[in-house]
Structure 1
Amino acid sequence: MCDYIPLSVPNLKGNELSYVTNAVEEEWVSTGGKYIDIFEKNISNYLNVESAVACQSGTAALHLSLIQCRVGFEDEVIVPTLTFIAAVNPVKYCGAYPIFMDCDDSLTLDAIKLKEFCEEQCSFINGILINKKSSRKIKAIIVVHVFGNLANMEKIMDIAKRYNLKVVEDATEALGSYFKDGLYKDKFAGTIGDFGAYSFNGNKIITTGGGGLIIAKEIDDLNKIKYLSKQAKDDEIYYLHGEIGFNYRMTNLQAALGVAQLEKLEDFIQIKNDNYGLYKELLNEVEGVRLLDFNENIRSNCWFYSLILEEVNIDRNQIIKKLSQNKIQTRPIWGLIHQQNPYVEAQTYKIEKASYYYDKVINIPCSSNLKKNNIIKVVETIKNILLKQER
């Protein structure tokens, strides 16, 4: 019997097979069918928003959101460097340029440095924020809620309002996270900015295999996004198209899976919170490491657990290798995007903490079907690796 412990895998123990089988039996397997409508309606109800548009991926959701932000050729968008590259690539799809911002200790975009950048490195002329260095217009901010933590949306939205910037929330890792107090009390990740993008990739807290979702503050924006996601089709019989559109619609098979997964979302979040608490308790006994905290003012979905290597005498990559040898899958945090080949010439602003956390973070197993004995094995293995290194 295999005792391999994967990093993050789907939990498919609900009505997934029943709903997908029904979709197949009814022969609605592509971008039409009842499950797409049901999924959009159910997730809108969950998020307490008017409507939503299901699409092909989280990347597609971000791309369509930026288009509707009127981000175009030679514009600029402020983005985090500590994120998955899919959060940034859609900026280039639009012909625009990213400006890379540092993270704070929650791993999310640093709102203080964002404010400093807008005040010190830009001019605000006739309602438009102009980058002094490039003379380009800055149109939007992409805020990524990393690993289920929520960024400081009160400060970020205040800055965006002051400088007439659109805010796209990348909530691909934070479905179900919400604020417990403050100005945005009870507001879910993705429902505060102008647009919210979600992902249902196989490793997310709920999955449709692939797939994404978009919500918007203005229903007209969302209607336009839906239109663009369906190839901008004006007449479905005579195939008349009013604009350049995209093949970005979710399939009915994916949506059937999503409907079943959404039924279990709160159960998954409870399991992930409980497992996070157990990890934290056990890791408190291990010197030199700690588990990254989730912000106190939020109910986090606890999607990923980040082990911080604060004072250890072993390289991060060596720990990952040794854990793999013990059949435990872990991973480092993403390579910083401003250091990736496509972006090495891009503008950055005071990247400091992101570099620190890049060297210090290991993501440890966090699936919602993780068992107590799995967690104990992970922690004991980490402890043994560190103890052997000290000898």
Structure 2
Amino acid sequence: MIPLAVPNLNGNEAAYLQECIVSTFVSTVGPFVGAFETQIAELSGTTAASVLCSGTTALHLALEGFDIGQGDLVMVPALTFIASANAVRHAGADVWLVDVSAQDWMLDVDAARVAIEAQTDAHPNGRLHRESGKVLRAIMPVMIMGSVPDFAALVAMAKDFNLRVIVDAAAAIGTTYKNGIALGATGVDAVCYSFNGNKTVTCGGGGGVASNDDAYIERIKHLSSTGRVGANYDHDIVAYNYRMTNLQAAVGVAQLERVDAFLASKKKIRDIYSELSSNFKSLEPFPEPAYGQNGYWFSGVYYTGGDKNVDLEFQKHMKSAGIDLRPFWKPLHLQKPYASSLCEPMPVTDDIWKRIFPLPCSTHISDQDLNKIIRDTTNFWNKHEAS
């Protein structure tokens, strides 16, 4: 089976892990942790970063670092992996689900603005949602598959409504805004990453938060390390053990040494799948962002036709050919834990989620595997369009 994405560990990963073993610094203390935090801050265009044990915990502490919790709301696009919403719930807040834009599949800023203006009033901490009595505190745009939102519009809306912007950039390491502006230099409050095994840059598992607010990052570090004060066992808050280990950070440091090559490979794969989609009247490539440079975590083909069963047929065909093709993320408003959440109309999300087909995108995928993917994809859509 050709998998969707496997880590590329052909650099200094093994050597740096051996350094950890020889030094015995294998847990949450060690030089690679600080080095990785410095690299993430530099890549993000921020003054500081904190690395953590997962992308979900990064989002969780990004929220809790701003005291977002019980009685609060966070606006989240429905078209995202469920971890985005789970992190809001972990912080004690609730989600307010909004649709995505058909142009870029990310949070529809215009729809969000209309909903906020119609349903909320000014509040010292954000916007009071009249019906629920909860306070909207933040917007969480999701950089779906590494793409780029309109940060200027997001930040302007947040300023108009006194809201935080906490970016779910789980899949967007290396993505930049207009003119190469780093994500953390766009005016947002925090940028959150995932370093899961299938991400462009992996630590095996892990996450990170980057921000230009040094005190905020220090609070996140305090929250992630059991709220310990000083060298003894004194703790001043109820906190978490969310730290990244030196072993994970060592892998991350080695990965970032090759991030430019990884991103170039992702771009090459995207171009190949874009050319593939151009051969069929019912296929398109994934949207190309208008606001910056996509990191292309995943690429593939997007179906524009009217066959409601084509997703299951295409998945069956590809899996029988030995190619991993899975259903795309089931939207949050259709997930049992969020069925009763505040929710705006979802015409775009409801229409597109079963039309999105990410194809294998490992950074070191072989030409042989790519040729097989192209051949088997072509065989399916030739038959489909001829029927």
Q: One fold, TM greater than 0.5?
A: yes
The reply to whether residue 269 of structure 1 matches residue 263 of structure 2 is yes
How big is the shift at 1:190? 8.1
Q: How does 1:81-160 map to 2 (within 5 A)?
A: 81-105=78-102, 106-126=104-124, 128-160=126-158
How big is the shift at 1:125? 4.2
Return the TM-score normalized by structure 1.
0.94
Structure 1 partner of 2:5:
8
How big is the shift at 1:293? 2.3
The reply to whether residue 255 of structure 1 matches residue 253 of structure 2 is no
User: 2:125 touches 2:135 (CA, 8 Å); kept in 1?
Assistant: no
Structure 1 partner of 2:64:
67
User: 1:66 touches 1:168 (CA, 8 Å); kept in 2?
Assistant: yes
Q: CA RMSD in A?
A: 1.6
Determine which of 207, 229, 232 is the counterpart of 1:234: 229
Quick one: structure 1 residues 284 and 373, their matched pair in 2 at CA, closer, same or farther if it must change by over 3 Å? farther
After the TM superposition, list the runs of 4 or more consecutive aligned residues in structure 1 that deviate by more than 4 angstroms: none
SS at match of 2:75: strand
Structure 2 partner of 1:309:
303
Once residues 160 and 130 of structure 2 are traced to their aligned partners in structure 1, the CA distance between those partners, rounded to angstroms, is: 18
Structure 2 partner of 1:281:
275
Once residues 124 and 334 of structure 2 are traced to their aligned partners in structure 1, the CA distance between those partners, rounded to angstroms, is: 34
SS at match of 1:329: coil
Quick one: structure 1 residues 279 and 385, their matched pair in 2 at CA, closer, same or farther if it must change by over 3 Å? same
User: 2:44 touches 2:210 (CA, 8 Å); kept in 1?
Assistant: no
How big is the shift at 1:127? 6.2
Structure 2 partner of 1:178:
176
Structure 2 partner of 1:246:
240
Determine which of 164, 167, 170 is the counterpart of 2:165: 167
How big is the shift at 1:276? 1.0
How big is the shift at 1:264? 0.6
Deviations 1:17-52 (A, max 9, x none): 000011011111110111111111122223232121
Once residues 376 and 312 of structure 1 are traced to their aligned partners in structure 2, the CA distance between those partners, rounded to angstroms, is: 28
User: 1:174 touches 1:189 (CA, 8 Å); kept in 2?
Assistant: no
Identity rate of aligned residues, in percent? Answer: 31
Determine which of 312, 325, 331 is the counterpart of 1:336: 331
Structure 1 partner of 2:362:
367
Structure 1 unmatched ranges of 5 or more:
none
SS at match of 2:48: coil
Determine which of 51, 55, 69 is the counterpart of 2:52: 55
SS at match of 1:331: coil
Once residues 190 and 383 of structure 1 are traced to their aligned partners in structure 2, the CA distance between those partners, rounded to angstroms, is: 42
SS at match of 1:338: helix
How big is the shift at 1:124? 1.8
Deviations 1:4-23 (A, max 9, x none): 32111101110000000110
Structure 2 unmatched ranges of 5 or more:
none
Once residues 190 and 97 of structure 1 are traced to their aligned partners in structure 2, the CA distance between those partners, rounded to angstroms, is: 28
Matched residues, number = 384
Return the TM-score normalized by structure 2.
0.95
How big is the shift at 1:141? 1.0
Q: How does 1:335-354 map to 2 (within 5 A)?
A: 335-354=330-349
How big is the shift at 1:374? 2.3
User: 1:190 touches 1:215 (CA, 8 Å); kept in 2?
Assistant: no
Structure 2 partner of 1:388:
383
User: 2:152 touches 2:186 (CA, 8 Å); kept in 1?
Assistant: no
